[in-house]
Amino acid sequence: MEQYRLVPRISAEEVEKQVSDLASRINRDYEGKSLVVVGVLNGACIFLSDLVRRLSVPVEIDFVRLSSYGKGAETSGKIKITKDVELPIEGRHVLIIEDIVDTGTTLVWFLDYLQQRQPESVKICALVDKLERREIEVPLDYVGIRVDKGFLVGYGLDFAEKHRNLPGIHEVEFMK
């Protein structure tokens, strides 16, 4: 088992403030419209739960599960759907909710997949935009927190399925 420790990066209070600001922007932008929010499992579960409770526009909620990462911190590069979106999205305004964007591969693939179902619009809301390893440009419409690098856990983000339940965001520091 790899040895590591967790270093606090973004407090629960700061996360809450960012989620609240994102919700205000979304409420303004979608005024008079209704939304289908699609959370990317498992990471976006906590972010989505907090975000939707601050939305005042009518919302329907669905989830998708995409497998791209293995058990650790390295990407496998391959993406497949293991749980698809079940709500009809043709002609609807769709907002994808993602925990963190790293290389960008997952979201670019999923965006293209959703577009084929002819929604009225698709936008992306990501809690964390991690810049250093971006390989492909992703049109991010709403971003809560920008970080340069580091492997983060907490507030839905995991390392080998652990630490999703932490209320704030921490960085995994591997011991040499």
Which chain residues interact with ligand IMP by CB under 6 A? 40, 43, 68-69, 75, 98-106, 130, 151-153, 157-158
**Span 41-70, contacts to Mg ion by CB under 5 A:** 43
Is residue 85 within 8 A of residue 59, CB to CB? The reply is no
Answer yes or no: 50 catalytic: no
Distance CA 38, CA 151 (A): 24
- Measured from the Cβ of residue 109, the count of other Cβ atoms closer than 10 Å reads 17
Q: Which does 170 bind (CB under 5 to 8 A by kind): ligand IMP, Mg ion, none?
A: none
Distance CA 87, CA 103 (A): 28
Taking the complex as a whole, how short is the minimal distance between the CB of residue 156 and ligand IMP, in angstroms? 9
Taking the complex as a whole, how short is the minimal distance between the CB of residue 28 and ligand IMP, in angstroms? 26
Cβ nearer to ligand IMP, comparing 52 with 96: 96
Residue 162, judged by CB atoms within 10 A of its CB (0-12, 13-18, 19+), counts as exposed
Size of the site for Mg ion (CB under 5 A): 2
Tokens representing 112 are: 């293209």
Residue number of the CB atom closest to Mg ion: 43
Determine which one of 50, 102, 129, 158 is catalytic: 102
Tokens representing 10 are: 């973004």
Q: Which residues are catalytic?
A: 102
